[in-house]
Structure 1
Amino acid sequence: MIATRSALDFNSSRVAISPINFRETCVLLMEHAPKLASQLQSEIRHQRLKEGPIAEDFLGLHLNIETIGLVIVELTKIGERALFQPKSAGKEKAILKELIECWLSLAEWILSDLEITDTPIH
């Protein structure tokens, strides 16, 4: 579940993500990509001190599209590994699928807000 706010500039957008999805993402990333998880947690601490939540149900963040892309890549890697592990429960896979879709929706929203112009190639 994602809500968005208008883009501030090309590299950073004010976005909101549900606390549950954010927490689940950080928990998964802490095991598989701890540096990225720490970066996200640091961002939320910094933003909450500056601006507070957007609404009760959402945490507000300024995130670069590159960071969002890294989250998608890492969640996809975790999902790929889960597909080949018979021990992985269906519920865990469903949560992972929801998280990937959540972050993909966020990336799509940011990209749809960008103006793309044709540039001549020399």
Structure 2
Amino acid sequence: METSAIIPILRIFDVAKAKEFYIDWLEFTIDWEHTFDAHAPVYMQISKGTAVFHLSEHYGDGTPGAGIFIWCTGLEAYQQQLLNKNYKYFHPGLETTFYHSLCMNVIDPFGNKLSFNEKLNETEN
């Protein structure tokens, strides 16, 4: 057996709030969205670069408060871009970690934590 991708499922409770956070603010893209009918919960896939998540309103699809660790590049520029949007619910900072990374943590409206990390050169810390 070989695996090709690991896609975390994050529980959400409000599609509009999820889209405001993930699409409008973090600038992820909706790859697809599914619902069985107008009264059924939404299940969707979003992505940004190689980061792919499923967001689900379905009962039993994950527990709020999940943590996702994301390696990335260009983190300082991305953080500044987010700050410039003046999102009223979150103003993320940057920190240098013990594992030689620059880190920005954001928490979605449902308690899920996304930790964006960029490896630092050994001479930068």
TM-score (norm 1): 0.32
- The one of the two structures with greater contact order (alpha-carbon pairs below 8 A, sep at least 6) is 1
TM-score (norm 2): 0.32
| Structure with greater helix percent | 1
| Structure with greater strand percent | 2
